[in-house]
Structure 1
């Protein structure tokens, strides 16, 4: 559909007068997503929609609204649409199931706030936590036992991070845990930069610090401003990996549990939504996630030597060497 390629959101009168949905909505997602809609814009209430084949779009549509689209991206079981206009510029198409039927709702922030009981946002994070399996890196010392959470812990050498969630042999989410002294040390010797580079290759990742941010400026034998500046530069460089200060070990453990549970549920939703909306499971990030389990550093060093990749005998293995290893060993 040529109109969809123009990156515009088009609303037209439905030429099928026998339909109970009087409008057509053409969304510039993919090759064009055509919906029959019960309204022109979701004001106070969410609007029910039904997907139609592209041939149902009329050659000479009777347009009632036309707006340039700034962003149109799928996130899980919904498509977020941002329009280039000052008001009524944000909306969301939610793909959900109700009473065994697949349904699509068009909603705006106003509709969700005013009618929270009618919200059709996908299931909450808690639904993803039952039977959660967390992989704990074998190099993790004095780690968390998640004694008060319903999880199953499995120890294995992870490709990166200290705690992770695995799907189909691939590491889809991981969290790196650090105490404040470990954070300062890894900033000084650049280990944190290497770790962030590896975490950034995952679909979802984070770094958790077991202290408040203010404690950075109470470190002894360290130049506080320099540490804070290095940390800020790394966060800007690796913006996809949030660095979270959580104050205590207990809060850090709880946050990791919630984060990995949400990531596990995101994988389930993404696979289902991708198959339904895009015609293939998951998204590009999920399909390109690296192998979950890592070889030992000694074996990677030997491999790098045999293929002629420069690598010092001591110190951390360079990220480009790890990347080359994973390209040639896709299952770790």
Structure 2
């Protein structure tokens, strides 16, 4: 279970009746006074950032694990571990005063549902006017062509194409034709090592100048049956989950995809995040691996750690931060799946595994 928590308190303040806190391992990453418990029809809920807990004795309304915390432009996107009302973001803006010098901060809390209903003007988060500086590996015989400025040619430590910013590599693309990839299947152990190095970059991709369906056509496979190539491709993606495999179809589409990929990364790097967002993410660190959330944590605990017959008190002890509502919802879902049965009512009720260990 994630050690990052979303906590909400009732402040009894007329203007800001609630306070939202995101904390990890006891350290507060972000603390906001908000006007609603959850953004509804209003769409945007105005927030006020505070540095310390102004309501230490306020009653806690909810406490949930945070699945994901990421930046998209000026937005801090949050995903909570619950069935409904789980996706939202905080938009951080810096505005200039109209009548005097200086700037002030505006924060708006928005939900996925509100953004869908409002249907704002279509606008991508990634846009930049800065030139995209691409370097092509010197060993590329027939390289892709990119718009100005003309790419540089030099030896790259990994990959065939790289995006440079201030003298450092920030993105890498490995290019493969169908013949290249089939040849690499014959030396998979070495190929895995090559891809492992590629995967160490923050932004990397394996771009293939073919469709996935081409690897399933016997007439295009010189040495391997389609069943083998399908397994090999699946193994590559399974062993390197952080490395996207892009089946671009042909050389022209692969070239276009790589350029747009580099352009979007350049735009993201140029779009300086709000100081509060940068500070929050720096404290958050690397996101933990997500393995399904609280429901699957409860399921695994029931299957492997509880006796054949148990009560909800066992789960309360194992998951003190999870509400009774969430525990009962998980129990009823497992009952519908046929994994457990219930007996009795009220305080004498208990649950039994249908397949005890």
TM-score by length of 1: 0.72
Matched residue, 1:59 = 56
Which has the higher Rg, Structure 1 or Structure 2? 2
Q: What is the total number of aligned residue pairs between the two structures?
A: 271
**Structure 2 CA distance for partners of 1:275 and 1:253, relative to 1, 3 Å:** farther
Q: Summarize the Cα distance change of 1:220–1:128 in structure 2 as closer, same or farther, 3 Å threshold.
A: same
Query: Retained in 1: the 8 A contact 2:171–2:201?
Result: yes
Indicate which of 80, 85, 88 corresponds to 2:82. Answer: 85
CA positional deviation for 1:282: 11
- The CA deviation at 1:182 is 0.6
| Contact 1:131–1:152 (CA under 8 A) maintained in structure 2 | no
| Residues 174 and 275 of structure 1, relative CA distance in 2, 3 Å threshold | farther
CA distance in 2, matches of 1:186, 1:223: 15
Matches within 5 A, 1:215-226: 215-217=214-216, 218-226=220-228
Alignment of 1:104 onto 2:104:
no
Distance 1:112 1:275, change over 3 A: closer
1:69 aligns with: 65
Aligned to 1:41: 38
Are the equivalent residues in 1 in contact too, given 2:95–2:104 (CA < 8 A)? yes
Provide the residue aligned with 1:28 in structure 2: 23
Superposition pairs for residues 282-293 of structure 1, below 5 Å?
A: none
Aligned mates of 2:151, 2:276 — CA distance in 1:
30
Report if aligned partners of 2:76, 2:277 keep a CA contact under 8 Å in 1: no
Secondary structure of residue in 2 paired with 1:264: helix
After TM superposition, the structure 1 = structure 2 runs for residues 174-189 of structure 1, keeping only pairs within 5 Å, are 174-189=172-187
Q: Which runs of 5+ in 1 are unaligned?
A: 286-332
Query: 1:159 maps to what in 2?
Result: 157
Give 1:203 shift: 0.3
2-side partners of 1:239 and 1:102: how far apart? 38
The equivalent of 2:198 in structure 1 is 199
Tell me the distance in 2 between the aligned counterparts of 1:159 and 1:273.
33
Following TM superposition, by how much is the alpha carbon of 1:93 offset from its aligned partner in structure 2, in angstroms? 2.3
Distance 1:109 1:183 in 2: 40
1:10 maps to 7
Partners in 1 of 2:283 and 2:137 — Cα distance?
26
User: Are the equivalent residues in 2 in contact too, given 1:267–1:282 (CA < 8 A)?
Assistant: no
1:32-89 Cα shifts (integer Å, max 9, x gaps): 4110112211223022212111142x121144x3031242423344433333332112
1:187 Cα shift?
A: 1.9
CA RMSD of aligned residues (A): 3.0
- 1:237 is matched with which residue? 239
Greater Cα shift, 246-255 or 182-191: 182-191
1:222-254 alpha-carbon deviations (Å, 9 max, x no partner): 232212212211111111111110112111111
Question: SS of 2:273's equivalent?
Answer: helix
Shift of 1:96: 3.6
Per-residue CA distance 1:248-282 (angstroms, 9 max, x = gap): 2111111101111111222234x635775317989
Q: Is the 8 A contact 1:272 1:282 kept in 2?
A: no
Cα displacement (A) at 1:7 = 4.3
Q: What is the DSSP-based 3-state SS (H/G/I as helix, E as strand, rest coil) of the residue aligned with 2:238?
A: helix
Which 5+ residue runs of structure 2 have no aligned equivalent?
97-102, 287-357
**1:81, 1:92 within 8 Å by CA — same for their partners in 2?**
yes
Aligned CA distance change for structure 1 residues 252 and 129 (closer, same or farther; 3 Å) = farther
Q: Determine if contact 1:72/1:81 at 8 Å carries over to the other structure.
A: yes
